[in-house]
């Protein structure tokens, strides 16, 4: 009986009909999860790529502690973190702000790094009454929907990634003329490049996913600019068609976690005149293969 009493109850899981994305309830993330429960959450994350936990009023210590249950912190360059929390970025947009929405284009976080983050966690602190949804695109199903001939072609290609376009010394953020609440840190370092497979194999699920994105992917190794543009343009459009996209609506105190190794995301606007504040951490990843 004692052994049964100590056994953690199973998590309550509500997947989307497509299987891409799932809500997890019945947990208190302010305390360390029991090993059995943590294993269930990790399994759900591997199965569904995007998971969210409503009604979790976490402070900084608790958000960091939950993040570390999935691995070491990732490296988050080019955005100034909270003053006393080097691993927490505050994604903030004030009510009067007219700057573009941060993260408002399809991307996989920091794919330009040699070892991009495995996961990103975003905790909702202040949510506007409408707007501000996040779109997620399923890289697994996008790959699986391609013809065998296209899969064979892409399987031998590598893509060049760089942070130069948004964060370089002459990039988008360096050229901004309107005030932004978040402090962006443009750098010549952002112009460095790393090449990754166009199709990567997930280290946990073993499934293959497309791994290119509009923001950080510059081109394809061994191809001309025109050839790269044509093939990447097709892939960007293919990956983000409605069939592969889940629109995620936020609530205050919701924690959402997504897998950068197999999913893209895109922050939407639509909440001008309202403040929106999120706290963000990342989990270190591995070199894509």
Instruction: Report helix, strand or coil for 230.
Output: helix
Whether 272 is covered by a domain: the verdict is yes
pLDDT of residue 12: 97
pLDDT of residue 7: 64
Kind plus residue range of the DSSP H or E element containing 263: strand 263-267
- Please give the Cα distance from 13 to 135 (Å, whole number): 20
Burial of 113 (0-12, 13-18, 19+ CB in 10 A): buried
Kind plus residue range of the DSSP H or E element containing 39: helix 35-48
pLDDT of residue 9: 72
The alpha carbon of residue 137 and the mean position of all alpha carbons in its chain are separated, in whole angstroms, by 10
Q: Which residues are catalytic?
A: 107, 109, 265, 280
Whether 32 is covered by a domain: the verdict is yes
Whether 99 is covered by a domain: the verdict is yes
Is the pTM higher than 0.85? yes
Whether 70 is covered by a domain: the verdict is yes
Whether 288 is covered by a domain: the verdict is no
Mean pLDDT by groups of 10 residues along the chain of 289 residues: 54 97 98 97 98 98 98 98 98 96 97 98 98 98 98 98 97 94 97 98 98 98 98 98 98 98 98 98 98
Q: Residue 128: give the domain boundaries.
A: 2-283
Which residues share a beta bridge with 81?
Answer: none
Whether 289 is covered by a domain: the verdict is no
Whether 66 is covered by a domain: the verdict is yes
- Please give the Cα distance from 150 to 238 (Å, whole number): 12
Residue given tokens 């790094």 in the structure block: 113
For the chain, the straight-line distance linking the first and the last C-alpha, in angstroms and rounded, comes to: 47
Domain count, the chain: 1
CATH of residue 219: 3.60.130.10
Question: How crowded is residue 189: how many other Cβ atoms within 10 Å of its Cβ?
Answer: 14
Picking from 243, 215, 229, 268, the residue whose alpha carbon sits closest to that of residue 137 is 243
Provide the 8-state DSSP code for 79. B
pLDDT of residue 51: 98
Whether 185 is covered by a domain: the verdict is yes
């Amino acid at each position: 009986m004692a052994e049964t009493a100590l056994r953690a109850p199973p998590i309550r899981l509500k997947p989307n009909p497509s299987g891409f994305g799932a809500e997890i309830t019945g947990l208190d993330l302010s305390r360390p999860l029991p090993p059995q429960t943590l294993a269930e959450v990790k399994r759900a994350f591997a199965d569904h790529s995007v998971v969210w936990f409503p009604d979790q009023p976490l402070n900084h210590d608790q958000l960091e502690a939950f993040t570390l249950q999935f691995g070491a912190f990732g490296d988050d360059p080019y955005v100034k973190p909270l003053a006393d929390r080097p691993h927490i970025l505050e994604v903030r947009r004030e009510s009067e702000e007219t700057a573009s929405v941060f993260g408002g284009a399809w991307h996989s976080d920091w794919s330009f790094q040699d070892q991009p983050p495995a996961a990103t966690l975003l905790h909702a602190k202040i949510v506007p009454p409408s707007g501000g949804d996040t779109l997620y695109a399923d890289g697994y199903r996008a790959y699986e929907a391609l013809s065998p001939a296209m899969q064979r072609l892409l399987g031998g290609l590598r893509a060049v990634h760089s942070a130069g376009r948004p964060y370089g010394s002459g990039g988008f953020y360096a050229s901004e003329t309107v005030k932004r609440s978040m402090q962006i840190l443009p750098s010549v370092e952002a112009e460095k490049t790393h090449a990754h497979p166009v199709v990567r194999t997930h280290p946990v699920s073993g499934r293959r996913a497309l791994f290119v994105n509009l923001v950080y992917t510059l081109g394809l190794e061994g191809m001309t600019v025109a050839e790269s543009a044509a093939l990447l343009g097709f892939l960007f459009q293919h990956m983000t068609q409605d069939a592969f996209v889940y629109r995620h609506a936020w609530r205050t105190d919701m924690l959402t976690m997504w897998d950068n190794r197999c999913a893209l995301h895109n922050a939407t606007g639509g909440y001008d005149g309202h403040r929106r504040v999120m706290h963000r951490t990342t989990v270190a990843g591995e070199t894509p293969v």
